[in-house]
A and B are shown apart, each in its own frame.
Chain A
Amino acid sequence: MSIQEKILCSKSHEYLLDNEDGTYTIGLTEYAVKQLGDIVFVELPEVGAEFKKGESFAAIESVKAASEIYMPISGTIKEINDAVVDNPETLNEDVYEKGWLVKIESKAPQSEFADLLEYEDYKEEVE
């Protein structure tokens, strides 16, 4: 199963990957990164910070503009990807293996997943 088959995407262009151990990986979709162009700055939250679904938890800046990144579901930050803070351009190469943003622990109810899209549906929506 490819990673695209496993992720859910929000309409604000974050992806959510279920690690099947109570944690989820969150990143920015390839489409969003392509739209932004050269990524030059990434600001991530601190481990332990709690965010509700829809809250801004990070900022990503391209040459042209700053964008806020929103939580696809509620959760607590368990791990952040320091490598993308040090090398923001990593996101332009890969948004999954190297370019993920944070891992969260979440007990979000099913209702929070209702507006997230399967990758194929998301792709259709944005293209």
Chain B
Amino acid sequence: MTKETFLHGKHVALGAKMVDFAGWHMPVQYTSIIEEHKTVREKVGLFDVSHMGEVFVFGKDAMEFLNHIVPQNIEKLVFEKAVYCQLPNKDGGLIDDLIIYKIGIQNYLIICNAARIDEDLNWMIRNKKGFDVTIENESNNYSLLAIQGPSAYDLVKKMGYDAKEQESFTIKLAKVAGHKMLVSRTGYTGEDGFELLVENEIAEEIWDKILSDGNEFGIKPIGLGARDTLRLEAALHLYGNDLDENTTPIEAGLSWSVPKDKVADYNGKNVIMNQIQNGVEKRLIGIKMVDKFIARHGYEVYFNGEKVGTITSGGISPVLGSNIALAYVKNIKEICTGATVQVMIREKLHDAQVVKRPFVQKRNIVKTNK
């Protein structure tokens, strides 16, 4: 059965086009994906991302447990900080990607992908043997609202919370619009922004308040369509497209997130460390189409007449005015930044240039007083 967030009625009333996504009936667009995309890059946008999973992990061994299931160094994660993590299987392939927040001495919050909540929970339960830890799936008890864009800081300030003390990738208990809630300075757009974890009962009230207070900043509600084009410009991975159980963080170009000096053992460590030292057979690249054709998920990639890989995410870049994609290709030295590859589109090859990721650089500096 398709699930609805507590804001479903709001989306329908706003005239959103609704689609099924990861088992949820979600807004894909309210007016136009391109307009919504530009609103987030230039002003501020509001997203309902309540479909995402919230899992709380706490107990005496919470740190050791998390340290055992992700490549990142949870030992070094301090109170109120967040870290981008992956959940590898024993072979280093990814069950999911997540953000882990430290919200108490022995308390952690995990935000994970909607479609992967069950797999994540099963995996965590299978791995908790020997750890004194409690895992609670609270996904149905919270709504998650994302405020993203250059005016996000000013909007949240207008709603009563001045985030000047809050850096990027941190979480704080704050009072927004008269309600205490967890406020995370994170997002999935490549812009400055906040994600508000609110109780379902007040989700509609907070949604309305954000839209009315955001009016002077030119706020718009943003659907999943623009969420996808925004994250692609920022070259942020989408689980199921760019990440799966047969892809390691090293192959996915996520080496920057994997500590090389972590002492504790974790699932997939052998494979991951071996790839860091000896290289990978396939790797993620970013490409920009030379002509107007659009590379899409599943299209084949060629180099010197040989099939070398597949597009995993592709589409338009409203900001660049050109078409961009992420692809996995054989690890051939010559396929480097500036090289030309070809994408097979409707039985014809079209040139594309290998470019640096992200496709669009973050322009606005996160506003803090530090």
Given contacts A37-B17, A37-B225, A43-B346, contact A66 B294 (CB under 8 A): yes
Task: State whether the Cβ of B231 lies closer than 8 Å to any Cβ in chain A.
Answer: no
**Minimal beta-carbon separation of B1 from chain A (angstroms):** 24
Q: Are B294 and A64 in contact (CB under 8 A)?
A: no
Contact call A63/B34, Cβ cutoff below 8 A: yes
In the complex, which residues of chain A have a beta carbon less than 8 angstroms from the beta carbon of B294? 40-41, 61, 66
Closest-CB distance, A31 to chain B (whole angstroms): 13
Q: CB within 8 Å of A: which of B1-45? A: 17, 28-29, 32-34
For A40, what are the chain B residues with a Cβ–Cβ distance below 8 Å?
34, 294, 316
Instruction: Give A34-70 as 1s and 0s: 1 = Cβ < 8 Å from B's Cβ atoms.
Output: 0001101101000000000000000101011110000
The yes or no answer to B229 lying at the interface (CB within 8 A) is yes
Is B293 an interface residue, CB under 8 A from the partner? yes
Contact: A66 with B17, CB < 8 Å? no
Contact yes or no, B293 A63, CB < 8 A = no
Taken together as a complex, chains A and B put the C-alpha atoms of A63 and B294 apart, in Å, by: 9
| B34–A38 touching, CB < 8 Å | yes
User: Chain A contact residues: over half helix, strand or loop, or mixed?
Assistant: strand
Contacting residues of chain A (16-46) with chain B, CB-CB under 8 angstroms: 37-38, 40-41, 43
Is B315 part of the binding interface, using a Cβ–Cβ cutoff of 8 Å? yes
Q: Given known contacts A59-B346, A63-B316, is B293 in contact with A41 (CB within 8 Å)? A: yes
Chain B's closest residue to A56 (CB) is B346
In the complex the two chains form, is A37's CB within 8 Å of B292's CB? no
* Bound complex: CA A45 to CA B238 (Å): 34
CB A125 to nearest CB in B, in angstroms, measures 20
Contact across chains for B33 and A64 when beta carbons are under 8 A apart: yes
A38 to B292, CA, bound (A): 15
Chain B contacts for A38, CB-based, 8 A: 32-34
How many angstroms between the C-alpha atoms of A61 and B292 in the bound complex?
Answer: 11
Nearest-neighbor residue (CB-CB) of B28 within chain A = A64
Known: A40-B316, A43-B346. A65 touches B34 (CB 8 A): no
B189 to nearest A CB, angstroms?
15
Q: Which chain B residues lie closer than 8 Å to A59 at the CB level?
A: 346
Contact, CB under 8 Å: A66 / B32: no
Closest residue of B by beta carbon distance from A85: B292
Q: Tell whether B68 is near chain A: CB-to-CB under 8 Å.
A: no
Asked if A37 contacts B296 (CB within 8 A), the reply is no
A37 touches B29 (CB 8 A): yes
5 A-B pairs within 8 Å (CB atoms) are namely A41-B292, A41-B293, A64-B33, A64-B225, A64-B315
Further contacts, 10 of them, CB under 8 A, given A41-B294, A65-B296: A37-B225, A40-B34, A41-B293, A43-B293, A43-B346, A63-B229, A63-B315, A64-B225, A64-B315, A66-B296
Closest 3 CB pairs of A and B: A63-B33, A38-B34, A40-B316
